[in-house]
Amino acid sequence: MDTTQQAQTLTEKIFSEKAGRAVTAGEYLLLDVDVALGNDITAPVAIKEFEKFNGRELFDPDRIVFVADHFTPNKDIQSAMQVKMVRDFSRTHGIKKFYDVGKMGIEHVLLPEQGLVKSGDLVVGADSHTCTYGALGAFSTGVGSTDLAGVFFTGKAWFKVPEAIRVELKGSFSPGVSGKDLILHIISELGVDGANYQAIEFTGPGVAEVSMDSRFTVSNMAIEAGGKAGLFPVDDVTRAYESQRGIEAAPRTADDGARYSRTLEIDLNMLEATVARPFLPENGAVVSALASEKVKVDQVVIGSCTNGRIEDLRSAAAVLGDARIAEGVRCIILPGSQEVYLQSMREGLTEKFVTAGCVFSTPTCGPCLGGHMGILAEKEVALSTTNRNFVGRMGHASSEVYLASPAVAAATAVQGYICGPDAPALERLGELEKKGPETKEAVSTAP
Amino acid sequence: MIREGKVFKFGDHINTDEIIPARYLSTTDPGELAKNCMEDTRPGFGGQADVDGSILVAGENFGCGSSREHAPIAIKAAGIQCVIAKSFARIFLRNCINIGLPIVELGETDAIEEGDYLKVDFSSGEMSNSTQKKEFVINTYPEFLQQIIRSGGWLSYATTHLAPERVLKGGS
């Protein structure tokens, strides 16, 4: 099969491989997907649709993954009933990849960690942050519950091959700057709909300097610029991550000369720690500019599908040092998976957080979407490492959410107002960086 | 297909947290979702009697944010006839096509006011604003999407054309 007639974006390459012929942006395709994901909010809608259409059996239960992560451990009777529906459906239809409390993590931390998605895959998920797996060089995108039900019936989904925006990276991050700052900067440049109907593809020499955990953060928030996907090439960083999970990945990049709708050039050395003000993720400002305003916070949240990985917790703990969090601040740590939870304990990070006055939660989406585990009262202010700061997102419609990295979040928790890490904290972050491979290494997969 | 009704007007970047806040997501019941439709951007909207049979008009990027299908379900169950916006966020647009909620992408929504009476003819591609006595031409969808829409949504299409063997006998 000839799938490489002309220079292709990484997006076009993956769609061409799946279609078995060279495809170009703009085409509509009906394709088999490798993985389809649902959670405790979106899977019940898909299950009801499947039943409404008199579904008898699934096309292939092995390509379905269900993770009960949003309102779990069940926050009330209604959410318990929703998870029960997913649990019962999984049992009836032989879905083995149902992750219940005790095995679950936040879906977009769990799936890559457990090797359930891999580079080159075509993935759909009934969750907008399914774009996270683009970090692995998979084409992965958020869809709705009806699409998920469609995969139950057919194993397929419909796609329009998107055009792509290129983000050319050079240089490397300064201490205290990470993937979160990069993506908040990009969203400020593009705007919240700047990549609507398009993929964002990362290229250039700077890519190799971005760790796997930072890549997940960056791809995760592609949707906050309206992006259909956020794709990294498959390089040595990806291959090392996948090989720890028994996956042999072939290198995969866009072709030279591929056509992009636009190109952004970013020097990672020039990036500063960035905070998005309420009420849109595009409202980015460098933290140094915000610090003089001394914005007081009531709550700090560190975790989520955006920043709930081990590198994120290491960075927060390094900034914390031996300090206690400020009086009047509630700091909630949400590790992304059981494995991240364990690793945090092994490295002594959990003890550091609890000693400092933080709470350390079971993995859950929880407060990120105003579900539970840290809802804001009237006019309260939070700084959070999550992904959205819309009106009412974390609770009361008059509450406010600022978005930032784990390093900024930890610094803010200590001072009680929004600020970046101070000089000693930056030094500790620099040391963490220098420790090299063993701390850069991702969490091993659970048996 | 013709859809008509009185306009409720909203701004840019209306996200799915505003259309149906997460605190109402522990149900999948369309009637319950409809009651809380647009709650955080216009409190009480879902309970207003005249929402049933109306048309919702908005600016850029309508439906951005989460993939929750509860958002278009809430709008549809509230009796809203169609949504007209300058642009739609991708997943929301996809969900509307999949569940059969008619939508129109129209660059000139600034010219439409709250309370105007609109009539949209999806077959001819014509739209009229009888309050302001204005006519518009609307875009039609590519053939592939039209097939899905004509079938009544993605699952009607999929279960009829792609996987009839996985449906219980006597089913739809």
Nearest CA-CA distance, residue A101 and chain B, Å: 17
Q: Please tell me the total count of domains within chain B.
A: 2
Within 10 A of A93 (CB to CB), how many other CB atoms are there? 17
Looking at residue A440, its pLDDT comes to 44
| Whether B72 and B153 share a structural domain | no
Q: Can you give the pLDDT at residue B163?
A: 83
CA angle (A308, B61, B42) in 5-degree steps:
90
pLDDT at B141: 83
- How many CA atoms lie less than 13 Å away from A335 in the CB half-sphere? 25
Which pLDDT value is given to residue A435? 78
Statement: residue B171 has pLDDT above 50: no
Tell me if domain A10-268 and domain A275-440 are identical in fold: yes
What pLDDT was estimated at residue A436? 59
Q: B4, B117 in Cβ contact below 8 A? A: yes
Whether B154 and B128 share a structural domain: no
B112, B145: one domain: no
**Domain of residue B99, CATH code:** 3.20.19.10
Those of residues 233-292 in A touching chain B at CB distance below 8 A are 280
Regions of chain A with pLDDT less than 70: 1-5, 436-447
Do A333 and A313 touch, CB atoms closer than 8 A? yes
ipTM above 0.95, yes or no: no
Please report the pLDDT score of residue A148 as a whole number.
Answer: 98
Q: Do B10 and B89 share a structural domain? A: yes
Residue B56 shares a structural domain with residue B19: yes
Q: Which of B62, B64, B144 to mutate to test the interface with A (most CBs of A within 10 A)?
A: B64
Q: Residue B107: which of B132, B135, B136 has the closest Cα?
A: B136
Do B81 and B163 fall within a single domain?
no
Residues B112 and B101 in one domain: yes
pLDDT tens for each residue of B50-62: 999 999 999 999 9
Contact (CB, 8 A) for B20 and B36 = yes
Give residue B168's pLDDT band: very low, low, confident or very high (50, 70, 90). confident
Report CB contact under 8 Å: B17, A392: yes
Q: Which of residues 35-94 of B touch A (CB under 8 A)?
A: 40-41, 43, 60-61, 64-70, 72-73, 87, 89-91, 94
Q: In which residue are the tokens 């209604």 written?
A: A78
Would you call A226 and B41 a contact, using CB atoms and an 8 Å cutoff?
no
Rounded CA gap, A227 and B61, in Å?
Answer: 12
- Compute CA distances A56 → A36, A51, A85, A129, B3, whole Å: 18, 8, 16, 30, 35
Q: CB distance B70–A48 less than 8 Å?
A: no
> Closest partner residue to B21 among A55, A75, A370, by Cβ?
A370
Residue B166 banded pLDDT, cuts 50, 70, 90: confident
Residue A447's Cβ-count burial label (10 Å; 0-12, 13-18, 19+) is exposed
User: Which architecture, in CATH terms, is A10-268?
Assistant: 2-Layer Sandwich (3.30)
Q: Which residues of A touch B170 (CB under 8 A)?
A: 54
Q: Tell whether B41 and B91 lie within a shared domain.
A: yes
Chain B CB contacts of A130 below 8 Å: 67
Range scoring the smallest mean pLDDT among A100-109, A230-239, B119-128, B157-166: B157-166
Mean predicted lDDT score pLDDT of chain B: 92
Give A60's contacts (C-beta < 8 A, 6+ positions apart). A155
**Whether residue B134 is found in the same domain as residue B162:** no
Cα–Cα distance for residue pair A234/B166, rounded to 1 Å: 37
**Nearest in space to B153 (alpha carbons), one of B50, B79, B44, B72:** B72
Residue-range domain boundaries for chain A: 10-268, 275-440
CATH number of the structural domain A275-440: 3.30.499.10
Q: Give B69→chain A minimum CA distance, Å.
A: 6
pTM for the model stands at 0.95
Q: Which domain holds residue B149?
A: 141-172
Taking each helix axis from N to C end, the angle separating B90-99 and B143-151, rounded to the nearest 10 degrees, works out to 40
The rounded Cα B115 to chain-centroid distance in angstroms is 18
Question: Which residue of chain B comes nearest to A46, CA vs CA?
Answer: B69
